Structure 1
Amino acid sequence: MQAPSLAPTMQSTDSAHAEIRTIETGLDRMENKALSQQRVILSEEKTANMSKLALGAKLERALDRRMSSQDAVMRPRKNTVLSEKSAIRA
């Protein structure tokens, strides 16, 4: 089995290589090396737990928005409406 070759498989112009190098150096400058070293990589179990918590929080917010100000208010029934209808029939 041969080791993979580092030679480019396609012939391209020098301007394309120069443009890619420019983009690569720009991305390298944007990366904050101190912050990269502080990143935490979570285990699969913790990632799944965080996803479940996030989904629960989204669901709670959606239900709060949906159910706010929609509670039924039970009012006593007015007898005047019923008596007026019965008076019209008579």
Structure 2
Amino acid sequence: MANPIAPAAASPAASQTIRQQARTSVRMSTYSTMAPSLTPTTDSAGAEISDIEKGLDRMENKALSKQRVVLSEEKWANMSKLALGAKLERALDRRMSSQDAVMRPRTNSSIKNKPKSVPLIVQEKA
């Protein structure tokens, strides 16, 4: 039985054209004709970054930078522990200072008024 899409006496080029027309999806090429540009961009991002860098350089105080202390690992660890302890102490002070509850010893009346637990009775199946 002959193929209804391609006639039997068709040339190879004609049959390839018919197969491409019968295809439902579009084939995209992975080859790109666009080459990367080697010319410098006219984008203003580079100029903006250099402006920001110049502004930061002006804001930096050179005299204060010389006075800056660089701690050793051991001293840095000790300072971190002290800072954490101080932060925790401040948080606990805030938490405890706003509490209104007053701790009092329990009285016998509050213990007597509690309902006693009733033991469960387990029935056995006979």
Aligned length: 70
1:58/1:71 CA distance change after superposition, 3 Å:
farther
Higher-RCO chain (CA-CA 8 Å, sequence separation at least 6): 2
- 1:14 offset after TM fit, Å? 5.2
Aligned-residue RMSD, C-alpha? 2.8
Gaps of 5+ in 2: 1-37, 109-126
Residue 58 in 1 paired to residue 107 in 2? no
For normalisation by structure 1, the TM-score amounts to 0.61
For normalisation by structure 2, the TM-score amounts to 0.45
Runs of 4+ in 1 over 2 A off after TM superposition: 11-17, 68-71
Pick the structure with more helix per residue. Answer: 1
Residue 72 in 1 paired to residue 72 in 2? no
Name which one, 1 or 2, has greater alpha-carbon Rg: 2
Alignment of 1:2-81 (within 5 A): 11-13=40-42, 15-68=44-97, 69=99, 70-73=101-104
1:72/1:21 CA distance change after superposition, 3 Å:
same
Q: Does 23-32 or 13-22 show the bigger shift?
A: 13-22
- 1:73 offset after TM fit, Å? 4.3
- Per-residue displacement from partner, 1:12-31 (whole Å, max 9, x unpaired)? 32533221221111111011
Q: AA paired with 2:94?
A: R
